[in-house]
Amino acid sequence: MSSLPPLLGSKPIGGTYDVIIIGSGPAGLTAAIYTGRARLKTLVIAGSSWGGQLMLTSQVENYPGFPDGILGSDLMNNMLKQAQRFGAEIVFEDAENVDLSRRPFKVVAGGIAYESHAVIIATGASPKELGVDGEERLRGKGVSNCAVCDGAFFKDKNVVVVGGGDSAMEEALFLTKFAKKVKVIHRRSELRATKILQERAFSNPKIEFLWNSVVEEILGGQRVEGVRVKRVDTGEKFEIPCDGVFVSIGYKPNTELFKGQVEMDEKGYIIVRDSTKTSVEGVFVAGEAKDYRYRQAITAAGEGCQAALDAIKYLEDVKHRSK
């Protein structure tokens, strides 16, 4: 699996663009393909770890057009190449600052200021944390959010996966390639995951389930040694020895940067007014920065296309108005 982007030409050094797209997951790169093909001067602020969540996934089996599946990183590399083919410039830095109150809009990344007449926010979401003792202290020392990244460190070890959704089942199934035993700890007595993933997890002899239970503390000195668990039905508390804890309990939107500038709900998801339009004229949003419901690569890509078409139309209208 390659996480390195294809080599680029010279790095952009500031300047004014028609559109700046912030984020380089399926939403951002699809938007860039569309704005690039519309001959708009397009800049993608891709982030220092570009490509979004699919870079941390193994096989993607449900993206149409790949009947045998495709590696998440291959899919993203393809999208990046396709966006570059239509002229999108890419900066592999994190956006540090945005000013959406001025025109043109201003985005600072890697210490360089860029300006644009339209912005597409496609910053996606990040894994949620449990917020229990030991989680931060032991991160990278047995605590992880990414089985694909860290699973190989747990060969013949006992690991715990927390969560009951699709992500947790994918993590658990992936970990069975390495671990001796995978214990899924879920707070309810049934899974939220789709049936096909449930069936695979239930039929895997390495996976065990602990229902109606929450992790209250992650234990260990230099490395993870276990978890303290509480049963929510009986109140019983006990410890489970383990070498790794994979937290897989959903995501939070990466929208900190835009706080106070575009309208958001109480969880930080950006509110859309009409299709992909935000509360600021000329600023559009696609993917998990706004979508807490579908959260699929294909829906993010679809929204990236919508945001690009909305931005193209907006820029045409502005041009027409100024004539």
In this structure, the number of other CB atoms found within 10 A of the CB of residue 190 comes to 9
Site for ligand NAP, residues 128 to 157, rule: CB under 6 A: 130
* Residue type (1 letter), 20: I
Residue from the set 98, 120, 249, 300 that interacts with ligand NAP by CB under 6 A = 249
Phi, psi of 149 (to 5 degrees): -75, -40
Q: Token pair 């600072």 is at which residue?
A: 108
Strand 105-109 to strand 237-241: parallel, antiparallel, or no bridges (unpaired)?
unpaired
Q: Which residue is nearest to ligand NAP (CB)?
A: 165
Binding status of residue 288 toward ligand NAP by CB under 6 A: no
Contact predicate 21/28, CB 8 Å: yes
Phi, psi of 199 (to 5 degrees): -60, -45
Helix segments in 90-194, DSSP class H: 147-150, 166-175
Q: How far apart are CA 233 and CA 212, in angstroms?
A: 6
Q: What does the DSSP 8-state code read for residue 76?
A: H
Q: Which residues contact 303 (CB under 8 A, 6 or more apart)?
A: 27, 276, 286, 287, 290, 291
Minimum CB–partner distance for residue 221 and ligand NAP (Å) = 24
* Binding characters for ligand NAP, 221-240, by CB under 6 A (x = yes): --------------------
Minimum CB–partner distance for residue 311 and ligand NAP (Å) = 26
Minimum CB–partner distance for residue 163 and ligand NAP (Å) = 4
Binding status of residue 188 toward ligand NAP by CB under 6 A: yes
Q: Interface with ligand NAP by CB under 6 A: which range of 63-71, 92-100, 159-167, 221-229? A: 159-167
Binding status of residue 192 toward ligand NAP by CB under 6 A: yes
Q: Token pair 């993607």 is at which residue?
A: 60
Structural tokens at position 31: 């938007």
* Binding characters for ligand NAP, 30-69, by CB under 6 A (x = yes): --------------------------------x-------
Binding status of residue 214 toward ligand NAP by CB under 6 A: yes
Binding status of residue 75 toward ligand NAP by CB under 6 A: no
Binding status of residue 167 toward ligand NAP by CB under 6 A: yes
Q: Interface with ligand NAP by CB under 6 A: which range of 116-124, 135-143, 245-253, 264-272? A: 245-253
What does the longest C-alpha to C-alpha distance in the chain come to?
72
Residue from the set 47, 163, 226, 282 that interacts with ligand NAP by CB under 6 A = 163
Q: What does the DSSP 8-state code read for residue 12?
A: P
Residue from the set 47, 51, 164, 226 that interacts with ligand NAP by CB under 6 A = 164
227-to-186, 236, 238 alpha-carbon distances in Å: 13, 14, 8
Q: How far apart are CA 52 and CA 104, in angstroms?
A: 27
Binding status of residue 183 toward ligand NAP by CB under 6 A: no
Minimum CB–partner distance for residue 252 and ligand NAP (Å) = 11
Residue from the set 40, 76, 168, 315 that interacts with ligand NAP by CB under 6 A = 168
**Active-site annotation, residues:** 146, 149-150
Binding residues vs ligand NAP (CB under 6 A):
62, 130, 162-168, 170, 187-188, 192, 214, 249-251, 295
